[in-house]
């Protein structure tokens, strides 16, 4: 009896067999609907066979085949690799490759940018001011000559669709192509090296300083791949970055067929993108980490932009690393892969040092007029009394304002203050469900936990002793914004953090304002760090970054270095020289001296030597077992057992080290007590042989009160 082996989206360790009814064409890669228990599920056929190990009586039939899409074989292989490498359920790993199955009529997708017609302009201007739902969009349409549809919320797209029916808006058409950017020597050399290697596996590390024009290198390499009839897969860390990147791509390459893939797309749009990729119609597939599973029949080149970025590692469900999956896939398909960054991860750095990756350097900014910014380190402690704004930074901002230039002040913490303490007794705002302090917020006023979302009223007096002298400790974006407003009352200030800027629309509107020169000072967190060109921005202030140096996580310094370089890179990108002022009390720390001398390479070598000395990743290979339960004793009991099993298995796996369980950095979160345990080996293969045996023994442990997971190649030991 013909059998289909189906990977179903359940946390079971195996696939499930179903018999194939006569007349139903079921082949490897087909998406089928089946019954599992009482449920009906869609899964992907990973193999067909002439019979099954399972009792015939237990087998049920394949219900039907969904559509005509097939998951390509290399993607099936990638999913199998991901399941095995990351110790995940085979079916959950394969679920990553399924197209969105909601068969809703593919909405006539709006693409690119739209502009108002004259009639539309009249109609919208005449719209009553209280037509609130459309108001923001209307204002933006009336202001802008063209609006990028990708930056809109789904609600706004609905409105826009309506307007298009009335012929109020029409597609803006392809923007006039930017004058073809002359590649400099380093750029054309890098692009040529990649282009020459098309047709076979090769891995490149493109190490280019901020503003060195890595995108142009990717584009030139992509041109070569596409000209030969190939498809290019380009991964980016965040959806925030895609609209701008797409704009640039479309402007530079009119007519380029791009498909976007990220989780913020509606099911219909995602399905369209999936089909465009699968049919070969899309020449460039641009997306976040999940795009690494896209069907690409003519894949010719893979690019991972900002490859150091932590968001490539999925932190829940299937804990895969999209960069590593991309490398695996490139090897499997025998095509080149490009890993680009201004601050390469130490994994990639080591790969380049060992000769596994070919190193391509872009040591200068592409625009010859744009110098790398000058960096100054000034003491932070001295600034504490002035809400964090030291004299140098104050003078710098004043200078910028006088010249009509923009400044950015960065602090990596939202809210007003880190915590609230009582000046009289020892009381401190503490989360009841986490081992963390509650952050002070003023807009709106509240004490909030950034780990579990718990919220309390902002107390007027100490809940413990009644004293009214409560002191907000530490610096957040809201406090900084207030201090800047007090210091520069006439400056136009915008705050950008997760609280102020929800959704893509909000971010795009700040970006537009900055571009329209309606903002003098930007205050914000991480959100501001990445990949946005602000030509008038000449000063960057970085506050509170020393906090990262206290972190117990071994990757903290590497992450800080990347963040500093990214933020500093916002300064002075177009002609005007930039300045970066970093307030630190550790000016001799290698991470700051590297920033001063613009020498990330030196820092990466130093950090790598430290990892070598301490036998830490990427020199060794690690997995992290993390567990949580409501009761401390349950976690401890589980971890104790897990540790014992690990030690016992070492008789068979001598090359693997099993460390003792320790409380997690955040020992309690949302009412769960948390612990973790590290296992590692100098050899990846040894760790890979150990992990399944260990996992199976742990799965057999009684007591399900503890939730646990294995994280292979964890982003940190936190």
What residues line the site for DNA (CB under 7 A)? Answer: 10-12, 14, 16-18, 34-39, 52, 54, 58-60, 702-705
The 3-state DSSP class for residue 455 equals strand
Q: Which is it for strands 419-422 and 470-473: parallel, antiparallel or unpaired?
A: antiparallel
Which ranges constitute the DSSP H helices of 529-589? 556-568
Nearer to DNA, 23 or 37 (CB): 37
CB 234 within 8 A of CB 286: yes
Cβ proximity to DNA: between 14 and 464 the closer is 14
Query: For residues 480 and 500, what is the distance between their CA atoms, to the nearest angstrom?
Result: 14
Least Å distance between CB 92 and DNA?
8
H/E segment holding residue 326: helix 322-333
Nearer to DNA, 12 or 693 (CB): 12
The radius of gyration of the chain's CA atoms, rounded to the nearest angstrom, is 27
Shortest CB 12 distance to DNA, Å: 4
Least distance from DNA to the Cβ atom of residue 18, Å: 4
Could you tell me which of 424, 432, 521 has the C-alpha nearest to residue 480?
521
Beta strands at 231-235 and 202-208: parallel, antiparallel or unpaired = unpaired
Given the complex with DNA, which of 502 and 705 has the nearer CB atom? 705
Q: In the complex, what is the shortest distance from the CB of residue 699 to DNA, in angstroms, rounded to a whole number?
A: 10
173 phi and psi angles, rounded to 5 deg: 75, 175
CB of 641 to DNA, least distance (A): 13
Residues 6+ positions from 513 with CB-CB distance below 8 Å: 494, 519
What's the min distance (Å) between Cβ of 671 and DNA?
A: 13
Closer residue to DNA (CB): 54 or 106: 54
Nearer to DNA, 102 or 684 (CB): 102
Cα(704)–Cα(257) distance, integer angstroms = 50
**Cis peptide before 444, with omega less than 30 degrees from 0?**
yes
Phi-psi category of 124—alpha, beta or left, where left has phi over 0 and alpha has psi -120 to 50? alpha
Close Cβ partners of 154 (under 8 Å, ≥ 6 residues apart): 266
What is the rounded CA–CA span in Å between residue 62 and residue 67? 14
* Closest separation in Å from C-beta 9 to DNA: 7
Q: Which one, of 115, 153, 145, lies nearest residue 506 by Cα?
A: 153
State in angstroms the smallest separation of the CB of 59 from DNA: 4
Q: Choose among 372, 409, 369: nearest CA to 393.
A: 409
What lies within 8 Å, CB to CB, of 340 at 6+ separation is 205, 206, 208, 214, 217, 218, 303, 304, 305, 306, 307
Q: Residue 52 or 113: which CB sits closer to DNA?
A: 52
- Is the CB of 3 or the CB of 352 nearer to DNA? 3
Return the closest-CA partner of residue 217 out of 193, 244, 241: 193
Q: Minimum Å distance from CB 429 to DNA?
A: 30
Percent composition of the chain: helix, strand, coil (DSSP 3-state, to 5): 35, 25, 40
Region class of 206: left (phi > 0), else alpha (psi between -120 and 50), else beta: beta
Q: State which residue, 457 or 704, has the beta carbon closest to DNA.
A: 704
Nearer to DNA, 57 or 129 (CB): 57
Q: How far is the CB of 271 from DNA (least distance, A)?
A: 21
CA angle 336, 340, 344 (to 5 degrees): 120
Q: Minimum Å distance from CB 20 to DNA?
A: 11
Nearer to DNA by Cβ, of 89 and 296: the residue is: 89
Give the residue with the Cβ less far from DNA, 318 or 398.
Answer: 318
Residue 16 Cβ vs DNA, minimum distance, rounded to whole Å: 4
Identify which of residues 35 and 115 has a Cβ nearer to DNA in the complex: 35
At closest approach, how far in Å is the CB of 629 from DNA?
Answer: 10
124, two tokens: 């919208």
Q: For the CB of residue 54, give the shortest distance to DNA in the complex, in Å.
A: 4
CB 378 within 8 A of CB 573: no
Tokens 């058409």 found at: 173
> Structure tokens of 250?
């479309």
Number of H helices, E strands in the chain: 19, 32
* Residue listed under structure tokens 């790969």: 351
Query: Quick one: tokens of 83?
Result: 């399941």
Enter the tokens of residue 533: 């060109």
Q: Cα separation of 279 and 107, whole Å?
A: 19
| 59/662 with CB nearer DNA | 59
């Amino acid at each position: 009896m013909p059998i289909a082996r189906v990977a179903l989206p359940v946390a079971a360790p195996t696939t499930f067999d179903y018999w194939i009814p006569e007349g139903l064409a079921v082949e490897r890669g087909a998406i089928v609907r089946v019954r599992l228990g009482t449920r009906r599920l869609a899964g992907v056929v990973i193999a067909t066979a002439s019979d099954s190990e399972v009792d015939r009586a237990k087998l049920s039939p394949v219900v039907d085949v969904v559509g005509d899409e097939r998951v390509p074989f290399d993607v099936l292989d990638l999913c199998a690799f991901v399941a095995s490498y990351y110790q995940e359920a085979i079916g959950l790993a394969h679920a990553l490759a399924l197209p969105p199955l909601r068969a809703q009529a593919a909405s006539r997708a709006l693409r690119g940018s739209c502009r108002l017609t004259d009639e539309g302009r009249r109609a919208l201007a005449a719209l009553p001011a209280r037509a609130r739902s459309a108001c923001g969009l209307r204002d933006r349409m009336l202001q802008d000559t063209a609006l990028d549809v990708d930056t809109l919320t789904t609600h706004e797209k609905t409105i826009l669709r309506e307007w298009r029916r009335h012929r109020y808006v029409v597609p803006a058409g392809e923007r006039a192509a930017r004058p073809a950017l002359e590649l400099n020597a380093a750029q054309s050399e890098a692009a040529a090296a990649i282009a020459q290697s098309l047709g076979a596996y090769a891995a490149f590390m493109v190490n280019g300083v901020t503003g060195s024009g890595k995108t142009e290198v990717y584009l030139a390499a992509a041109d070569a791949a596409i000209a030969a009839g190939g498809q290019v897969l380009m991964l980016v860390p965040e959806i925030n970055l895609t609209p701008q990147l797409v704009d640039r791509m479309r402007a530079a390459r009119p007519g380029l067929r791009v498909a976007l893939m990220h989780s913020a797309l509606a099911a219909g749009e995602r399905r369209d993108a999936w089909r465009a990729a699968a049919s070969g119609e899309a020449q460039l597939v641009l997306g976040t980490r999940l795009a690494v599973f896209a069907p690409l029949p003519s894949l010719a080149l893979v690019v991972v932009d900002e490859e150091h970025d932590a968001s490539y590692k999925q932190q829940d469900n299937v804990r895969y690393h999209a960069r590593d999956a991309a490398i695996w896939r490139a090897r499997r398909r025998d095509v080149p892969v490009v890993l680009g960054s201004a601050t390469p991860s130490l994994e990639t750095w080591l790969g380049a040092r060992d000769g596994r990756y070919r190193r391509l350097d872009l040591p200068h900014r592409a625009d010859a007029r744009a110098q790398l910014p000058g960096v100054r380190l000034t003491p932070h402690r001295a600034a504490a009394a002035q809400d964090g704004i030291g004299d140098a930074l104050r003078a710098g901002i004043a200078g910028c304002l006088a010249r009509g230039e923009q400044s950015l002040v960065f602090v990596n913490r939202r809210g007003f203050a880190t915590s609230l303490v009582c000046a009289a007794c020892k009381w401190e705002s503490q989360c009841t469900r986490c081992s963390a302090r509650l952050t002070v917020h003023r807009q709106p006023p509240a004490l909030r936990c950034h780990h579990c979302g718990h919220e309390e009223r902002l107390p007027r007096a100490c809940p413990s002793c009644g004293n009214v002298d409560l002191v907000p400790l530490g610096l957040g974006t809201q406090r900084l914004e207030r201090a800047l407003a007090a210091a520069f009352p006439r400056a136009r200030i915008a705050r950008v953090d997760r609280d102020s800027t929800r959704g893509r629309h909000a971010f795009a509107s700040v970006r537009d304002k900055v571009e329209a020169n309606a903002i003098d000072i930007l205050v914000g967190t991480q959100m501001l760090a990445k990949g946005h060109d602000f030509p008038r921005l000449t000063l960057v202030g970085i506050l509170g970054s020393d906090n990262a140096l206290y972190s117990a996580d071994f990757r903290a310094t590497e992450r800080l270095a990347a963040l500093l370089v990214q933020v500093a890179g916002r300064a002075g990108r177009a002609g005007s020289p930039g300045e970066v002022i970093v307030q630190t009390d550790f000016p001799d720390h290698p991470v700051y001296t590297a920033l001063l001398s613009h020498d990330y390479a030196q820092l990466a070598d130093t950090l790598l030597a430290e990892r070598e000395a301490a036998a830490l990743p990427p020199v060794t290979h690690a997995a992290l077992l993390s567990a949580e339960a409501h009761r401390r004793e349950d976690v401890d009991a589980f971890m104790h057992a897990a540790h014992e099993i690990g030690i016992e298995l070492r008789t068979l796996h001598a090359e693997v080290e099993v460390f003792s369980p320790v409380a997690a950095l955040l020992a309690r979160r949302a009412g769960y007590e948390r612990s973790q345990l590290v296992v590692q080996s100098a050899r990846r293969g040894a760790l890979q042989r150990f992990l399944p045996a260990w996992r199976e023994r742990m799965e057999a442990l009684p007591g399900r009160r503890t939730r646990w997971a294995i994280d292979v190649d964890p982003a940190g030991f936190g």
